[in-house]
Amino acid sequence: MLIDRFGLSVSTSSEAARDAYVAGCDGVLTAGHGDSDHLSRAVETDPGFALAHAALARALFLQADVAGARAAAARAREQAPDKTPREQGHIDALCLAIEGKPVESLAATRAHLARFPRDAMVAAPATGVFGLIGFSGRQGREPEQVEFLETLRPHLDDDWWFQAVYAFALEEVGRLDEALDLIERSMAACPRNAHGAHIKAHVLYEMGEDKQALNYLESWLPDYPRQGLMHCHISWHVALLALMLGETERAWQVYRAQVHPSGAWGPALNVATDAPAFLWRAELAGHPRSAALWREVRDYALKSFPKAGIAFVDVHRALACVAADDKDGIVGIVGELQQRAAAGRSPAGDVVPRLAVGLAAYGRGDWPAAISILEPALPETVRIGGSRAQRDLVENTLLAAYLKAGRVDRARALVAAHTERHPSVPVAGLA
């Protein structure tokens, strides 16, 4: 029996299918463009290669092709019964997430990794700020992510993929020096890892090294295909860093060409969150509002996500309606979010509608109301998912509300409370 890159046996007798599978899996783990092509070739070469069908399902799911992903997952399920116990557990854990069962998928992932801790493709969906733990809605998800990865560390510590995702988890809990060392080691071993480049940018952002982060991404990004899974989001980081450094023309050029809905290529989740996040933070930094750009962002977000269900997206849907002055839209979103929370259908609890109401108060210039809502909600924003860098949008809005309400001391105290991180705070009037 042949083995994969992690030394695990795979049920195929075709070396060509195995090689295409390994290349496709590495493509998934690096967000490399062409991963689904490799995996499609693997299943064409060996139609009975169940693991390749499962990996293809994962690749298509990440590309937001849910129908294609579920079809591939079904083929993997059909072939699983006569495969090894390791492959059966692998397929089950991956397919459960694709089938819309994240809680069950995480439980299956933990059970599987207890037996097969080097199975990186199974571990990967539980990593990162958008993963099974990241989107769990739990208040303690950041230390939980570190703990999850630390159980795998004795088995994967020498692997570039593990070093990158572990660095991300450490960065999110403020262990920045360790995170920087790990991501440097990871990128030295696999320089074209798009997830790794993204993670390095996060570490440098948290350290306040904006210029170093921008220089790094601008040297790394040109060789990454525009169709790559992370192109839109890495471009968002470039635009945001340029904005923070006062390189205004560069920031807006990147935003319009690579982040805004009419210019970006990427999963809808990224476009629908990155675009409003940049526009809002530009306004907080003192730039004038573009009603036309906001209308396009609002229309895209509501078309791509007509119903609530993903807390991180829901906050940005609300934000887009607020900035587009869509009063009916924000009322509808708040009502929907409140109903979900009241019915116990919101893993993040009621913090999502509270944030939407707080952003709406800020949007209409009611600074005391915005402060009274956002201030107690701030510690709970971890529950919506996303990174600390992304959730800075809420903190920066609160800072701006403090300043507009004349509460300068409160604003300075909030910034001074950053003991584990030192990101720049581009809020007009804060200096």
Q: What is the pLDDT of residues 188-231, one digit of tens each?
A: 999 999 999 999 999 999 999 999 999 999 999 999 999 999 99
- The confidence band for 52, taking pLDDT boundaries of 50, 70 and 90, is very high
- The confidence band for 6, taking pLDDT boundaries of 50, 70 and 90, is very high
pLDDT at residue 53, rounded to an integer: 98
What percent of the chain is predicted at pLDDT more than 90? 98
Query: Of 355, 290, 370, nearest to 324 (Cα)?
Result: 290
- Cβ-based neighbour number of residue 417 at 10 Å: 9
d(CA 198, CA 176): 15
- The confidence band for 38, taking pLDDT boundaries of 50, 70 and 90, is very high
129: tokens are 């700020």
Query: Of 301, 229, 326, nearest to 33 (Cα)?
Result: 229
Placement of tokens 């009037």 in the chain = 429
259: tokens are 């982040």
Whether 284 has a pLDDT exceeding 80, the answer reads yes
Whether 337 has a pLDDT exceeding 90, the answer reads yes
pLDDT at residue 59, rounded to an integer: 98
d(CA 215, CA 354): 37
418: tokens are 């950053």
- The confidence band for 266, taking pLDDT boundaries of 50, 70 and 90, is confident
Are the C-beta atoms of 268 and 64 separated by less than 8 Å?
yes
Whether 431 has a pLDDT exceeding 80, the answer reads no
d(CA 287, CA 275): 15
The dihedral built from the CA positions of residue 163, 57, 273 and 132, taken in this order, carries a sign that is negative
pLDDT at residue 419, rounded to an integer: 87
- The confidence band for 420, taking pLDDT boundaries of 50, 70 and 90, is confident
- The confidence band for 1, taking pLDDT boundaries of 50, 70 and 90, is confident
Q: Which helix (H) or strand (E) holds 10?
A: strand 9-10
d(CA 103, CA 83): 25
pLDDT tens column, 73-93: 999 999 999 999 999 999 999
d(CA 114, CA 107): 11
Mean pLDDT over all residues of the chain?
A: 97
pLDDT at residue 166, rounded to an integer: 98
pLDDT at residue 279, rounded to an integer: 98
Find the mean pLDDT for residues 127-143. Answer: 98
Q: DSSP assignment of 347-358, as one string?
A: TTTTHHHHHHHH
Angle at 325 between CA 324 and CA 326, to 5 degrees: 90
- The confidence band for 429, taking pLDDT boundaries of 50, 70 and 90, is very high
Find the mean pLDDT for residues 345-350. Answer: 96
Find the mean pLDDT for residues 145-173. Answer: 98
- The confidence band for 123, taking pLDDT boundaries of 50, 70 and 90, is very high
